[in-house]
Structure 1
Amino acid sequence: MSKEQREAIAALLGQGPQGFEPQPVEQMRENFARMMAQFTVPQVRTTGTELGERPAVLVEPEGEQRPGTILYFHGGSFSLGSPQTAMGLTAGLVTRTGYRALSLDYRLAPEHPFPAAIEDCLAAYRALLDDGASAQSIAFAGDSAGGGLTVTTTLAARKAGLPVPGAIVAFSPGLDHTRTGATMMTKAGIDPFFTPEGMAHTGEMYLAGQNPHQELLAPAVLADLTGFPPLLLQVGTNELLLDDSVRLAQRARDAEVDVILDVTAGVPHVFQAFTGQLDESDQALARAALFLAQRLDA
């Protein structure tokens, strides 16, 4: 990462969160959409569709399309975002792999708290299987909260007796609503996006008073990953959520699951979005694309 790139990203992010002041969720959603609209979106074909009775966006490469499907779950702390806010990442994977993607518009908190998002993601996966796709030809991918959904949806699929997907790619996933990772404190003031107080606020929207000490809310702490597909976890060192990935990777290793913990130094939450601005972003997406090709093509 060049000095010039680091300075440019720092200028874009400003001084980061300066304390925490709660805002109406509608304002948070507008601010998030405005921020994510700044990121580059590669040239792809997009079509509105429906998957599992929820709106979705079909994202296809402009050139030759390879057999295989990426089911993408957007980020936004379970209360913000849409397929459009994650389009740069979704399209980035599509253009690098040649696979189509379906990006799901799952229900958001606080209007629809846990487990609504997981139910929607599971229904979308079931719809793909019912439509004739093989589980091995489907990969789950997502960022932040959506990265967490790649894991919790797989847990829910396994519990429902469905086959697990062929692979999982999670960018800076949120995997622990108990917030017990050491980096929740050691990276406070370093993470340019999040504060512990802000994460507690959005976490309360999603939990709606429910106990976070359960597998689908804290897989980094409680999940049994036996039988999981190969996992790629990408995270930066400047993240409150760093230890979510570190601890899930340990649980995967203990369960004899193929796992790659891909940690990049000095980069922020979901740094993969900064394609064209940060060399590490393009390199990370290239590694994710290779990981998917090696699993789905097989």
Structure 2
Amino acid sequence: MAAPLDPVIAQIIPLMPMRDPAIMTPQSARDSLRALAAARAAVPPPSVAEVQDIKVKGGAGPLDARVYRVGTKPAPTVVYFHGGGWVAGDLETHDRQARNLAIETGSDVVSVDYRRPPETRFPGAFEDAFSAVSDVFNRVAEFGGDARRLGVAGDSAGGNLAATTAIACRDAGIKLAAQLLVYPVVDAVGSYADARENARFPSRADNADGYFLTRATMEWFCGHYLADPADAADWRVSPLRAASLAGLAPAVVTTAWFDPLRDEGAAYARALEAAGVRVKHHEGPGLIHGYFGMGDASEAARAEAKRARADFGALLARGA
């Protein structure tokens, strides 16, 4: 039997942004996510040794990025992509998540501010993500310094970018040590509006509404990211549809029980495993989409996120 919704999380849900796509605009989504991050300004962020704003190569020019360093000794390097439905989110909204990732994995984390829709639609964000990872790989001496311990990570839409970038890295001969996919989007065919496609993943009905991220909001996100709905079948949008997942980096996949994306994330973990990829899947009992950002309030969220980051750190330490 599934664990009940964490009572602390239940109290947080009414305070969460981006819950009503009927009145949401790209700018309001961005503003509300920034406001949520700003509301925590009085709480000191997790401390790292150094934070540096830099530029990395994107698909159409330089991108803003932020490096979090935990020390001066050689370390793994992680390229991190923030969530926000491809439309919202930035370096500020996910600053604490990037800090925790650096601290708990002992890595240099490079958080990338990729281009967002509707100003730049697919494949812009994917091209930025892959270009950024390629650039960091080629300049790894400036970061953790060890090309054998390079990983990708991301949450939600950022998890989608991490997953698709991992496939592109395999195809380009860039050997990653690990990938951390936090409640990722992995199958957008039908843009969450097609009844037949939705029926493949019962969590889209079970968790369609009431748990922060809704199925309708996912439909809204896809409508902004994809200029052509047919692009959803492209593996660069839906990695679960890739021709082959063999040879990909070992993966840590997290899902949340009360999340419309739960079942597609679990399906991706199974598909990776079936392709011979080493996988650890954290199911997120009692939790919702976005729980990696709720660790200050919810002990259940904090503990589950720490377990996933520990597994990811162990893969990075082992190296490619």
Show the counterpart of 2:205.
185
Show the counterpart of 1:109.
117
Show the counterpart of 1:254.
274
3-state DSSP of counterpart to 1:112? coil
Kindly report which structure 2 residues correspond to 1:8-157, keeping only aligned pairs within 5 A, or say none.
Answer: 8-14=8-14, 20-38=21-39, 41-44=45-48, 45-52=50-57, 53-61=62-70, 66-132=74-140, 134-157=146-169
In structure 2, give the amino acid aligned to 1:122. Answer: F
Question: Which stretch shifts more, 34-43 or 106-115?
Answer: 34-43
- 1:15–1:92 distance in 2 versus 1, CA, 3 Å: closer
Q: RMSD between aligned alpha carbons? A: 2.3
Shift of 1:18: 7.0
Pairing partner for 2:185 from 164, 174, 180: 174
Distance 2:86 2:139 in 1: 27
Question: Could you list the per-position Cα deviations for residues 73-111 of structure 1 after superposition, in whole angstroms to 9, with x for gaps in the alignment?
Answer: 000101111121111111111111221100000000111
3-state DSSP of counterpart to 2:80? strand
Q: Does 1:245 align with 2:265?
A: yes
User: Sequence identity of aligned pairs in percent?
Assistant: 24
Shift of 1:297: 1.9
Distance 1:227 1:138 in 2: 16
Task: Please list every run of 5 or more consecutive structure 1 residues that lacks an aligned counterpart in the other structure.
Answer: none
Question: Could you list the per-position Cα deviations for residues 27-62 of structure 1 after superposition, in whole angstroms to 9, with x for gaps in the alignment?
Answer: 11101211234456312232110111211001122x
3-state DSSP of counterpart to 2:131? helix
Question: Could you list the per-position Cα deviations for residues 167-204 of structure 1 after superposition, in whole angstroms to 9, with x for gaps in the alignment?
Answer: 001111111112432211121124x2222222111101
- 1:38–1:176 distance in 2 versus 1, CA, 3 Å: farther
| Equivalent residues of 2:21, 2:217 under 8 A apart | yes
- 1:102–1:218 distance in 2 versus 1, CA, 3 Å: same
- 1:20–1:97 distance in 2 versus 1, CA, 3 Å: closer
| Equivalent residues of 2:19, 2:217 under 8 A apart | no
Shift of 1:65: 5.1
Shift of 1:280: 2.3
Shift of 1:273: 1.3
Shift of 1:11: 2.2
- 1:20–1:129 distance in 2 versus 1, CA, 3 Å: closer
In structure 2, give the amino acid aligned to 1:33. Answer: R
Aligned length: 293
- 1:140–1:117 distance in 2 versus 1, CA, 3 Å: same
In structure 2, give the amino acid aligned to 1:185. Answer: A
In structure 1, give the amino acid aligned to 2:114. Answer: Y
Distance 2:73 2:155 in 1: 23
3-state DSSP of counterpart to 2:246? coil
- 1:294–1:7 distance in 2 versus 1, CA, 3 Å: closer
3-state DSSP of counterpart to 1:232? strand
Distance 2:261 2:147 in 1: 29
